[in-house]
Chain A
Amino acid sequence: MSETPEVRGFRDHGSWAGPELVEALRERFDSGMLGDSAAHGEREVTIRREILPALARWLKEEQGFEMLLDLTAVDYLGKRETRFEVVAHFYSLSGNRRLRVCVPLREEAAELPSLTSLWKAADWYEREIWDLYGIRFAGHPDLRRLLLYDQFKGHPLRKDYRMKDRQPLIGPEAVRPAGAGEERAHG
């Protein structure tokens, strides 16, 4: 009992895609690849935004990445030249491997093609990114705010939105014009 057991922790968290996937990616999307890394044992590729739809489709249909586990954005204001980066985590259940795809975006062109036609999960993730970072997704069927209310001004997770900034909290009902299409529940 007291002999030191093998401690695993995160050290051989070996469930990320191998270098062969990066090779295949380079072969297929050569001009669109900006870089790759395996820091902390995590496979990451950085790509140009133009190839995202084709790459996502290829991952899903030919490489068995059935799941879009996470989609988020980072604002690198003052840290990098391209301000935003959209970060997707794909997972292949059949191959048991993860892959992180980063797409840098300039502030004046903060728009990406939507992934909603490939994964249903993309719908809310993209709405959340639009809501909190102000990055648009072309082709999204219903790009509304998700967590905040429609009247909210700005995008709070941008680094230039200060934490102490306050806005009046407006309930979703208060500003809707009377009789705008909805019947009262107890009518």
Chain B
Amino acid sequence: MAESVGTSPVSIRSRDLTLNMGPSHPTTHGIVRLKVSTQGEEIVDCDIEIGYLHRGFEKMCENHPWNQAVVYVDRLNYVSPIINDVGYHMAVEKLLDIEVPARGQWMRMLTSELMRICDHQTCVAASCMELGAFTAFLYLIKGRDLLWEVLEKICGARVTTSYTRIGGLAYEPYPGMKEEILDLFTDLRDINREIDKLMSDNRIFIDRTRGIGALDRETCLSYGFTGPVARAAGIEYDVRVQHPYMLYNQVDFDIPVCSNGDCYDRYLVRLNEMEQSLRIIEQCLAKLPAAGPVSVEDARYTPPPKELVYTRIEPLMNHFKHHMWGHMIAPPAGAVYHAVEGGNGELGFYLVSTGEERPWKVRCRPPCFGLTQALKEMIIGGMVSDVVPIFGSINMIGGELDR
């Protein structure tokens, strides 16, 4: 075979091809279409088509009461939904100028960090699997399931959590939660250690990710990169540090930063961030007050307890008015922007209120928007096979990208 190729090179007919990767393709987890023009194995041009998961998020929010958007924001990033819930509700609370009690804040932080671990686990798992490391995928997904079981006990759901509310949380932390989460730490740390051993020095993994998809710092800033991908390129930016919200100024944690900006560094940043999130969770658990309210004690925002709803007429009316029409929740006219650190970077909400019981505008700044836009620049000049690790490393989430 090799001989015949060597002796008659002119007989090999070659032409440029346009290849469709997606909308539904094993490497595009999420629906996105990459139209790539190739010369041989090299990609010379590319057009990225998004919007396949567009479901009118903003329009839906504008036509519902303020407190009913929670199910829509959940579905923005379905890998770390609680961070979305927290981001949206903090923005509404900023408009309303109300403050969640400390216990609620610690719980929000704790669950946000649990979600961040899930997010990174899923991203690392998928990108390892696509490079042939199925074992790593299974280990990480097993770890995620451990967390999801805790999550199920915290809020009754594994994926679409709808955990937070305007002014607090939907549920109290359950008894024994602290011990149960601490019990998981050994397992979670073991999994991370195993992944580190399996992948970080793995020849195949390094060959496929080192120097692949690298963008320099300037380009990353120009695209508005935030989160792990930006930190892999040496941009020291984390909303939790630069703009500490909730109680992030009271916990100790480090921000892993690399400098090459390639797929390998993005993997390293995510792997290390999981450990940092575990550290934050440990501190949250230690500082979480044993008793006290998790929501503001204000009947306008927090619905009455179920015992009263079933036994008294006023709480019953209050309950229905709250849940069905969102009555009484009408922030004063104005606009706010509030950002939290999502799994992928800065997750910002820009809300406009006209003083009515429905939002005038609910804008979500999706962290993977700039990343997906830059995908074009990352893959041009590379091989077709490089698309796989690059796409895995940016962690595109269709829900927030297409809204």
Contact = CB atoms under 8 A, between A and B. Distances in A.
B334 A9 contact: no
Given A39-B334, A93-B235, A2 B289 contact: yes
Contacts of B235: 93
Nearest to A74: B361
Contact of A120 (B94, B244, B334, B373): B373
Contacts of A124: 369-370, 373
A29 interface: no
B94 A10 contact: yes
B381 to A, nearest CB: 17
Contacts of B56: 156, 163
B51 A96 contact: no
Most buried by A among B54, B286, B335: B335
B350 A1 contact: no
A15 B346 CA distance: 14
Given A9-B90, A93-B221, A124-B369, A183 B17 contact: yes
Interface string A8-19: 111101010000
Interface in A39-74: 39-40, 42, 44, 66-70, 72, 74
A67 B245 contact: no
B59 A5 contact: no
A7 B100 CA distance: 9
Interface stretch (A20-28, A104-112, A142-150): A142-150
A9 B348 contact: no
B242 A4 contact: no
A36 interface: no
Interface residues of A, number: 51
B330 to A, nearest CB: 15
Nearest to A79: B354
Interface string B155-193: 000000000000000000000000000000000000000
Contacts of B365: 69-70, 72, 89
Interface stretch (B1-9, B124-132, B246-254): B246-254
A146 B51 contact: yes
B84 to A, nearest CB: 16
Contacts of B102: 4-5, 7
B355 to A, nearest CB: 10
Contacts of B196: none
A178 interface: no
Nearest to B247: A8
Given A40-B95, A96-B242, A10 B20 contact: no
Contacts of A156: 56, 59
Interface in A93-135: 93, 96, 98, 100, 119-121, 123-125, 132
Contacts of B363: 70, 72, 87
Contacts of A44: 335
A9 B63 contact: no
A82 to B, nearest CB: 15
B323 interface: no
B94 A40 contact: yes
Contact of B246 (A8, A15, A93, A183): A8
Interface of B: 17-20, 35, 49-51, 54, 56, 58-60, 63, 90, 93-95, 97, 99-102, 105, 219, 221-224, 226, 235, 237, 242-247, 249-250, 286-287, 289-291, 334-338, 346, 348, 350, 352, 354, 360-361, 363, 365, 369-370, 373-374, 402-403
26 contacts: A5-B102, A7-B100, A7-B101, A7-B102, A7-B247, A8-B249, A9-B90, A9-B99, A9-B100, A9-B245, A13-B243, A13-B245, A40-B94, A69-B226, A69-B365, A70-B224, A70-B365, A74-B352, A76-B360, A89-B350, A120-B373, A121-B370, A124-B369, A132-B58, A147-B402, A187-B17
Interface of A: 1-2, 4-11, 13, 15, 39-40, 42, 44, 66-70, 72, 74, 76, 79, 87, 89, 93, 96, 98, 100, 119-121, 123-125, 132, 145-149, 156-157, 163, 172, 182-183, 185, 187
